[in-house]
Amino acid sequence: MINLSVNVNKIATLRNARGGNMPDVLQVAMDCERFGADGITVHPRPDERHIRRSDVLALRPLVRTEFNIEGYPSEQFMELVLSVRPTQATLVPDAPNALTSSAGWNVQDNMELLCGIVDRLKEAGIRTSIFVGTDLENIRAAARTGTDRIELYTGPFAEDFETGYDPEGAVAPFAAAAATAHSVGLGVNAGHDLNLKNLKFFQQHVPHLAEVSIGHALVCDALYLGLEATIRAYKDCLK
């Protein structure tokens, strides 16, 4: 079974739009676990426009499944991650003002940085994942950093799949990327724009998939279906 990690950033965005504590990010995270989620993901950004540092600290003792913190590995981010010690840290190359993650690392150009970050995280017993595209040489370079996993940026797949023209062609680079990652000893995660329309097809065609991280689409679906039914539907896609 492929794990579903629910990204609760969008819940925090909704809370922050009005102030106060509605919806309660902590309660929603616990409910996601209760409804069957295999993990909780957060992506704290420097401006705290959605998940705040205080949310991350408050979630740590409450999360009973896997806790995944993703972000650009600035010193501020590293201090937070090393103090919280989540199950996994996912390293993304986002600029501080990025709206959302929209590309993976050029690993070779950032090899020294990533090797140092991975070493620090592994010394603390934190599983590491590097956010990448489907370039095979880039994935082989990721393995040389010592990371445990990669997370495939699935935005291009979702965009191409939506056209309905060539779904097999849309997924083929991701299948090759996952096979390459597995061949060099890396676990495979995936995330970005995966949803109830494309997730089942993706997981059926991409080998060695360990985990998907989904937030925006899942929260949008929950507006219509309810959170419990939505998580159940996403889990059904991963069977």
- From the list 33, 50, 66, 70, the catalytic residue is 70
Query: CA-CA distance, 57 to 141, in Å (whole number)?
Result: 33
Helices (H), the chain: 9-18, 25-34, 53-59, 75-84, 111-123, 136-143, 155-163, 167-183, 199-205, 216-225, 227-237
Q: Please tell me the pTM assigned to this model.
A: 0.95
* Residue 227: predicted pLDDT: 98
* Residue 97: predicted pLDDT: 62
What range defines the domain where residue 144 resides?
3-237
Chain segment 87-135, per-residue pLDDT in tens: 999 999 976 665 565 679 999 999 999 999 999 999 999 999 999 999 9
Judge whether 50 counts as a catalytic residue: no
Judge whether 211 counts as a catalytic residue: no
Are 46 and 94 contacting, i.e. CB atoms less than 8 angstroms apart? Answer: no
β-strand 3-7 against 209-214: which pairing, if any? parallel
pLDDT, mean over the chain: 96
- From the list 66, 151, 192, 211, the catalytic residue is 192
The share of the chain scoring above pLDDT 90, in percent, equals 94
Chain segment 48-68, per-residue pLDDT in tens: 999 999 999 999 999 999 999
- From the list 43, 50, 66, 151, the catalytic residue is 43
β-strand 39-42 against 88-91: which pairing, if any? unpaired
Are 13 and 49 contacting, i.e. CB atoms less than 8 angstroms apart? Answer: yes
* CATH assignment of the domain containing 82: 3.20.20.70
Chain segment 145-177, per-residue pLDDT in tens: 999 999 999 999 999 999 888 999 999 999 999
Query: CA-CA distance, 206 to 197, in Å (whole number)?
Result: 16
* Residue 94: predicted pLDDT: 76
Total structural domains within the chain: 1
Judge whether 182 counts as a catalytic residue: no
Q: Which pair of tokens denotes residue 52?
A: 């705040």
The band of 219, judged by pLDDT with boundaries at 50, 70 and 90, is very high
